[in-house]
Structure 1
């Protein structure tokens, strides 16, 4: 059983593994291993003072992989899932195994959605996000940005033409959608 102080049982014996895998156990001879005394299983020396560790209280339903029967005894609580990105994360954990690409792709999508939620939330504050200055664009002209790449064998030179599209593209698209929405609203009046 997971998360106990007991030694986990071996799936196969050493003889079975040696018969199935050529060269298995080549380092099992204690004369070849200086750390053997430290690796001996000593039930009184495990350091565990519990049979099963004390569980951290769950303040809200946490996302848990469908492969596991329960949450680990200790888990992170710094970033609780919220908003649409939280719903996407919960879907990834509730529906798909961690072995499926869909699980991880949904988590990546949730991260992107979370970034946009924070960008939109920043507009409600006194200091909204500024994509021009926060991406370091002005330093390209004031800190030898362009000249540090010309004639140099830098690995990041290959994607420099795509960087403005990747960074500014979503902002331009969002601005275009806002302008189109405003025109549509004003056109109805």
Structure 2
């Protein structure tokens, strides 16, 4: 049985990669006060309760379920040896956003900021791509209706914000920018293309 097969048949759903240059227990204990204080089972208050079940240190009974088909090539964090036995398939990676997200999973750990920032960038690219494709298919977003401006008009928006402690007034400035930037970008590119064509 190969190492990979052993990992996949292990009861642990995730198998962490072995860290490099790990200090010894004595080095850590000398450097960090209190390190390893729970290594001795006698020092763990929960051990007597957890070991009541015969034949198990924790009493947990778990059999790894059969792996869902299609796990090959699925995105997963680099800390994990394989995907979970059951996973979602509703939003497969696609397009430029998929490339960005795939790079985030393949290159950076979940503990690194670039991992999450790239996923956010991928989401924004996905939104922009879908807005453009919807517009090209004749179903553009209803920008004005989706802002909720009709409800604002009926409920005295200015009076509700001026002189109050509400903090959502910032959204009145930021929301149009967040909502409109893909269209502004498309418009800017169109103007640039027309100017280049005229030259």
Q: TM-score, normalised by structure 1?
A: 0.69
1:88/1:106 contact within 8 Å kept: yes
Equivalent residue pairs, number: 167
Does 1:68 pair with 2:80? yes
1:65/1:98 contact within 8 Å kept: yes
Tell me by how many angstroms 1:40 deviates: 4.5
Tell me by how many angstroms 1:56 deviates: 1.1
1:79 corresponding residue in structure 2: 91
Q: Residues 170, 145 of structure 1: CA spacing in aligned structure 2 closer, same or farther, 3 A cutoff?
A: farther
Task: Note the residue ranges of structure 2 that are not aligned, 5 or more in a row.
Answer: 1-6, 13-24
2:157 corresponding residue in structure 1: 145
Task: Note the residue ranges of structure 1 that are not aligned, 5 or more in a row.
Answer: 6-11, 31-35
Larger deviation, residues 74-83 vs 158-167: 158-167
Following superposition of structure 1 onto structure 2, how do residues 13-162 of structure 1 map, counting pairs within 5 Å?
21=34, 39-42=50-53, 46-48=60-62, 50=63, 52-58=64-70, 61-162=73-174
Q: TM-score, normalised by structure 2?
A: 0.66
Alignment counterpart, residue 4 of structure 1, candidates 8, 11, 18: 11
C-alpha distance in 2 between matches for 1:175 and 1:146: 31
C-alpha distance in 1 between matches for 2:186 and 2:100: 21
Q: Residues 139, 113 of structure 1: CA spacing in aligned structure 2 closer, same or farther, 3 A cutoff?
A: same
